[in-house]
Amino acid sequence: MIKRIAFLGTPEISVSTLRYLIDNGYEVPIVVTGEDKKRGRGSALTASPVKELALQLNLNVSHDPKALLDVDFDLAVVVAYGRLISDTLLNKGLFINLHFSLLPRWRGAAPMERAILAGDSETGICVMKLVKELDAGPVYQTRRFPLDREITLDQLARRLSTLANEALGTELALGETAFCSPIEQVGKATYAHKLTIEDLRIDWAGSTAEVMRKIRLGRAWTTLQGARFKIFAASEFTAGEVALGQGEVTGVLVGTGSGAIELKSVQPQNKRIMEARDWINGMKQIKDLRFI
């Protein structure tokens, strides 16, 4: 019977699973998470979201995965930990991973982001066994989730995290037969490489749908008058036809390769995030504006 579960995770999306394990009565003898980092302005180091929760719960925390070698556990659960697990650790016990895609599609670091950028019609989660090859292990549980043209990365992360916890709970509820019947992955593998800054730059020659996919990630950017300009929220403009060139700005509308988008939330360089209408109303020169 699985009672003692080691946990490995680092970012915000990992937090709900650690909370789920504690709330459902499992003993967590150790939490392994990423190093403290500078996560904002200033020089102070900040603990990962997982570490913050673990400390609140008075759990044993380590930044060194080798610490697992000195801990007895029935199962190790990994959620977006951020580092590969060594063969030595994999030989110590069963490690399972909650992965946020329908494997073997989008193995790797940024599965949700790549699913949105590719315009996938669905994604999901897999509860899989960790093996030496990246995200190639057999799968115990799968949950599917439809993707529409509006869901943001943050919204998707919350939904998939909930599905992953439910799937983990279903497998754990099998008791003595839990994690005994994995199914090998079938199909062609694709890889979700970590996003670069250029991946997030908007190409205004692209279709409205393509532009919106980048904006839905929450970190899209373009340039205006030689300065970087971030767009945090927008919507497809469907109220009628507009005669705007690619990147041309009129009010809060911007032309794309196939239509236009309506800006909602933006951040000009060296300024705060603001409503798009407040930004355009504060512009001294509104003629001939164009994003590049």
**Domains, the chain, with CATH or none:** 5-177 (3.40.50.170), 198-282 (3.10.25.10)
**Separation of alpha carbons 176 and 154, rounded Å:** 36
Return the half-sphere exposure (C-beta side, CA atoms, 13 A cut-off) of residue 276: 19
Question: What are the helix (H) ranges across the chain?
Answer: 12-23, 49-56, 87-90, 111-117, 153-172, 208-215, 276-282
The residues near 250 (Cβ < 8 Å, ≥ 6 apart) are 242, 244, 289
Let me know the angle formed at the C-alpha of 152 by 150 and 157, rounded to the nearest 5 degrees. Answer: 135
Output DSSP code: residue 201: B
**Separation of alpha carbons 87 and 22, rounded Å:** 28
Q: Edge to edge, what strands does the sheet with 75-79 contain?
A: 61-62, 31-32, 5-9, 75-79, 95-99, 122-129, 139-146
pTM: 0.93
Contact (Cβ atoms closer than 8 angstroms) between residue 140 and residue 127: yes
pLDDT at 143 (0 to 100):
98
CB burial string 64-81: b at 16+ within 10 A, e below: ebeebeebebbbbbbbbb
pLDDT at 42 (0 to 100):
65
Question: What are the helix (H) ranges across 24-176?
Answer: 49-56, 87-90, 111-117, 153-172
Q: Which amino acid is at 280?
A: I
| CA-wise closest residue to 126 among 69, 171, 88 | 171
Does residue 290 sit in helix, strand or coil? Answer: strand
Give the count of beta carbons closer than 10 Å to the beta carbon of residue 105: 21
Token pair 């150790």 is at which residue? 30
Counting every residue written for the chain, the total comes to: 292
Helix (H) or strand (E) holding 144: strand 139-146
Contact (Cβ atoms closer than 8 angstroms) between residue 13 and residue 37: no
Token pair 């609140």 is at which residue? 56
Average pLDDT along the chain, 292 residues, taken 10 residues at a time: 96 97 98 87 84 97 97 97 94 97 97 98 98 96 96 97 98 96 96 96 97 97 96 92 91 95 96 96 84 96
